[in-house]
Structure 1
Amino acid sequence: MKKTLRIATRKSPLAMWQTEFVKAELEKVHPDLEIILLPMSTKGDKILDVPLAKIGGKGLFTKELEDRMMEGDADIAVHSMKDVPMKLPEGFALGAILERHAPTDAFVSNNHESFESLPQGAILGTSSLRRKAQLLAVRPDLDVRDLRGNVGTRLGKLDAGEYDAIVLATSGLQRLELDERIRHELAPEVCLPAVTQGTIGIEYFEKDTETLEIIQVLNHKETEIRTTAERAMNNRLEGGCQVPIGVFAELDEDKINIRGLVGALDGSEILTASISGKTKDAEQLGISLAEKLLDQGAKAILDEVYANDEHNKG
């Protein structure tokens, strides 16, 4: 009998690209598998006039897909890993972490060549507190404003003249074949990426070993190691999905190098730390990196963020 796999996904163009990509990759390995996509709009997709941090953080993008699975309609859900909360609901697990695409942030502008060349007081759009903190640390003169919506919506607001420039994930623009909109990628030294930025994950029911067998062929070991380290750091910091925390892990054969960052929302204080060790110790190294940041005073910065918004620990 032909096996059917049902995938819950958000309806946004980028989410659909990710899910179609997973579908195509699975079909290469399992040509007899019938894959059905179940697109839906989540609360995070619908409420676009309020900053994410104010309405529950990025977990809004995953919870309703999990509900669809709980109702028995879907077997797996495909997520951008940076939207996945640090703690999954009981019974759920990540069955595959796909090879990471570009982890960087992209500078997009119609009138300015680079972030550095923006004029004094320019209006910069971003939905990310992490980007806001880091970019204000370099350019405190900028007017950084919230920017929500899918990639097309954000680009439309830029094109309408509401912003002088915007910053988006490089991988999202590349996946939607909008590479020509990228003026340049921001180096990690300027803007450290979000936890697992550029990485796609597949969520499944932990007890569903048959489904795990189907999806785990897509797991990319090196990306899994980097993901483990980055999520461990964020988890130790009790960082939600929408906080001014950056982290970037890189592999060098059997070694892993990790950089971490916590920033005040206004960019007035940026704490950084780094750590290196064996890839087999990725999780512990991520935790140790968080401890280094906590020793520098990261908790006080994060407490202030949470004091401004009780939902942020999503």
Structure 2
Amino acid sequence: MEKLIIATRKSKLALWQSEYIKAELNKHYPDMEVELKTFSTRADKILDVPLAKIGGKGLFTKELEIALASKEAHIAVHSLKDVPVNFEEGFALAAVTKRFDPRDAFLSEKYEGIHDLPKGAVIGTTSLRRRLELKLLRPDIVLKDLRGNINTRIAKLKDGEYDAIILAATGLQKLQIEDEVKYFKPISTDDMIPSMGQATLGIETLDNKEIIDLVSVLHDKNAHIESTIERDFVRTLEGGCQVPIGVKATILDENSIDVKAIVGMPDGSEYIQEDIVANIEDFENVGKNLAQIFIDQGAKELLARAEKVAFED
């Protein structure tokens, strides 16, 4: 193939991720031209409403899928956490890349960490999962919506709208802007379980063998195992972007994998949480089996209530 076109969003982070994929492809195919083509998604345009209320995860991917379908691009680069667990017919998740830092991060101009915040401090996040987990860590804090790209969110923090904000650590690390805030502190996944696929890149294509074979060089086996478990867990629970679900699979050694998961109400009033160790050879069933344990404890009903509350807020 002489030329490959990557569809990407225009944000600095999306462009970094697409440039990273371009560089990786150039290592394997030095004679192939790789070009980035930018698109605006609905999620980039609607910045004053929580994503859950306007459609959830597909908002970051739809316009890029249209570009693939119309042959304007060959692949699309996504943050895997934004990719719906079910693909429309004709599309495929061709590769998942080596995982970066999966943790959430605490950012503040005044306070070193989440436990240093004064009672009633204001934390910015729109993520229902983060709201749930923050309320379990600090029931006394006040949560306030936070939308916009990374730079916009940091600017709002610096303007004093929030005592602290929570972002994915990997975004700041990729853009090398951790030092723009006085306190940047990644939060242990024991304290805040990330979103499925957080810090992994997903390469989407049309279901085209030539392109899938071409990008297979980007595929990371460990990230594949972890993300399969996480995405299966969410798919089995039938949970979208608009419900509070955290799930993190971590390979411990060649035989075993640890899986932490949580679902609950955004205010932390009800939740179900599990931490299991499973056989890595059974990874294609682990996520589904863990989800069934949650379902048996009433997780679907809990998530239905959580979704209803989220849309009422």
TM-score interval for Structure 1 and Structure 2 normalised by the shorter chain: over 0.9
Write the distance in 1 (CA, Å) between the matches of 2:191 and 2:225.
24
Aligned to 1:232: 232
In the other structure, the counterpart of 1:296 is 297
Kindly indicate whether the alpha-carbon contact (under 8 Å) linking 2:266 and 2:310 is maintained by their aligned counterparts in 1: no
Match of 2:216 in 1: 216
Question: Are the aligned partners of 1:275 and 1:285 in contact in 2 as well (CA < 8 Å)?
Answer: no
Give the match for residue 191 of structure 1. Answer: 192
> Helix, strand or coil for the counterpart of 1:68?
helix
Instruction: For residues 22-75 of structure 1, give each alpha carbon's deviation from its aligned partner in whole angstroms, at most 9, with x where no partner exists.
Output: 000000110011111111111101100000100101210001100111111011
Give the Å deviation of 1:195: 0.5
Residue by residue over 1:268-287, the C-alpha shift from the partner in whole angstroms, topping out at 9 and shown as x without a partner, is: 12211123222231121111
Equivalent positions of 1:274-285 (< 5 A) are: 274-285=275-286
What is the deviation of 1:152?
0.4
Secondary structure of the 2:135 match is: helix
Moved over 6 A (4+): none
Q: Which letter does structure 1 place at the counterpart of 2:212? A: L
Give the whole-Å Cα distance in 2 for the aligned partners of 1:81 and 1:242: 16
TM-score by length of 1: 0.95
- The within-5 A match list for 1:230-269 is 230-251=230-251, 252-269=253-270
TM-score, normalised relative to structure 2: 0.95
Alignment check: 8 A CA contact 1:276 1:285 kept: no
Question: Residues 223-264 of structure 1, C-alpha deviation per residue, up to 9 Å, x if partnerless?
Answer: 100000010111111010242100111112122221111021
Aligned pairs for 1:105-184 (under 5 A) are 105-180=104-179, 181=181, 183-184=184-185
CA distance in 2, matches of 1:168, 1:271: 23
Gaps of 5+ in 2: none
User: 1:308 Cα shift?
Assistant: 4.2
Shift of 1:299: 1.6
- Asked whether the equivalents of residues 194 and 245 of structure 1 are also in contact (C-alpha less than 8 Å), the reply is yes
Amino acid at match of 1:256: I
Counterpart Cα distance in 2 of 1:225 and 1:69:
26
Percent identity over the alignment?
A: 49
Q: Answer yes or no: is the 8 Å Cα contact 1:7–1:78 preserved in 2.
A: yes
> For structure 1, which runs of at least 5 residues remain unmatched after alignment?
none
Name whichever of 183-192 and 37-46 sits farther off: 183-192
Distance 2:215 2:190 in 1: 35
Task: Output the CA distance in 2 between the equivalents of 1:183 and 1:20.
Answer: 25
2: CA distance, partners of 1:170 / 1:76: 25
Cα pair 2:123 2:141 within 8 Å, conserved: yes
1:253 maps to amino acid: E
CA contact (8 A) 2:43 2:60 kept: yes
Structure 1 partner of 2:90: 91
Shift of 1:309: 6.0
Corresponding letter in the other structure for 2:54: I
Structure 2 residue aligned with 1:80: 79
Q: How many residues align?
A: 308
Distance 2:305 2:178 in 1: 37
Q: Hey, what's the Cα distance between the residues in 2 that align with 1:118 and 1:99?
A: 34
Secondary structure in 2 matching 1:141: coil
- 8 Å contact from structure 1 (residues 84, 241) kept in 2: no
RMSD over equivalenced CA pairs, Å = 1.3
